[in-house]
């Protein structure tokens, strides 16, 4: 009886997984179904906030941007994202950045 689950697990582990290696393959996978599209957009929104807000904070830290410039740009980006998607994952990304760079002038968005 214990052999059946083991055989099932072995069969599942042998199923090939297709990697996505090109932009065309990514587009095809993201547009395959509505759930995929929402997932891809969520990943993009979260990753974009990490990179964009992280860059703003780093530029402020290096003295290349003032606190006012940083918060102004962040506000513009947040406003646009909220219009497009509601901005929930964008805000989560900002929180994540600020946990690692607490001295940044950007404040968490409720």
In tens, the pLDDT along 23-81 reads 898 889 888 899 989 899 999 999 999 999 999 999 999 999 999 999 999 999 999 98
Domain that holds residue 81: 23-100
Tell me the pLDDT tens digit for each residue of 49-64: 999 999 999 999 999 9
Domain membership flag for residue 4: no
Question: In total, how many domains does the chain have?
Answer: 1
Instruction: Please return the burial class of 14, using the count of CB atoms within 10 Å of its CB with bins 0-12, 13-18 and 19+.
Output: exposed
Domain membership flag for residue 86: yes
Is residue 94 within 8 Å of residue 49, measured between CB atoms? yes
Domain membership flag for residue 16: no
Domain membership flag for residue 3: no
State the pTM of this model: 0.72
Domain membership flag for residue 109: no
């Amino acid at each position: 009886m214990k052999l059946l689950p083991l055989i099932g697990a072995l069969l599942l582990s042998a199923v090939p997984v297709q990697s996505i290696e090109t932009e065309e393959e990514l587009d095809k996978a993201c547009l395959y179904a509505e759930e995929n599209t929402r997932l891809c957009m969520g990943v993009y929104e979260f990753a974009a906030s990490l990179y964009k807000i992280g860059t703003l904070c780093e530029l402020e830290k290096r003295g290349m941007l003032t606190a006012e410039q940083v918060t102004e740009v962040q506000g513009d980006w947040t406003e646009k994202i909220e219009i497009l998607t509601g901005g929930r994952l964008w805000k989560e990304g900002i929180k994540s950045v600020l946990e690692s760079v607490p001295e940044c002038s950007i404040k968490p968005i409720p």
